[in-house]
Amino acid sequence: MAEVRDRNLPHQVQVHPQYRFDNTTGGGYGAKNYHSGPSTSQVLAVLTLLPIGGTLLALAGLTLAGTVIGLMLATPLFIIFSPVLVPAAIAIAMAVTGFLSSGAFGLTGLSSLSYVLNRLRYATGTEQLDLDHAKRRVQDMAEYVGQKTKEVGQKIENKAHE
């Protein structure tokens, strides 16, 4: 009985348009010819970037090899001088951490002060005064440039008449 009721209910049909990307005659999606080869600029980009990429890859390999060889040569020295090097490394690490953290705290403090200052300027309405001042300066500069342009034009005209 349930099957009979399911068959009698109207079903909604959804139609989704299908686009063909190999159609080159119309506009829209099919307007571009996808079967053509690479453009001249793409070929030139590959020809210039391929040697550069290969050179950089070779330099990376040489650097890795040099690092491994240097580490192999320096490991015995690290083991011999470890009673001196370990405390020195810890001291240097602590100094670097201190400098970095002080810089981060200073930057955070400056940005928070800047934020508070901007909020106060917005709350008191002084940013509108700053905007008006900037507009006046731009207008004054435009008038100055216009005046200088007129003067230069008059000088050129006077020289042309002479």
Which one has a higher pLDDT value, 137 or 3? 137
The pLDDT score that the predictor gives to residue 33 is 52
Full-model pTM? 0.34
Measured CA to CA, the distance from residue 102 to residue 109 in angstroms comes to: 10
Nearest to 152 by CA among 137, 162, 138, 160: 160
Average pLDDT over residues 43-61: 87
pLDDT tens column, 72-106: 998 888 888 888 888 888 999 999 999 999 989 98
DSSP state of 59: H
The pLDDT score that the predictor gives to residue 95 is 92
Residues 85/75, Cβ–Cβ less than 8 Å: no
Band the pLDDT of 63: cuts 50, 70, 90: very high
Residues 51/60, Cβ–Cβ less than 8 Å: no
Residues 21/29, Cβ–Cβ less than 8 Å: yes
Query: Own/partner pairs for 57-61, CB < 8 Å, 24+ apart?
Result: none
Residue 48 has pLDDT above 70, yes or no: yes
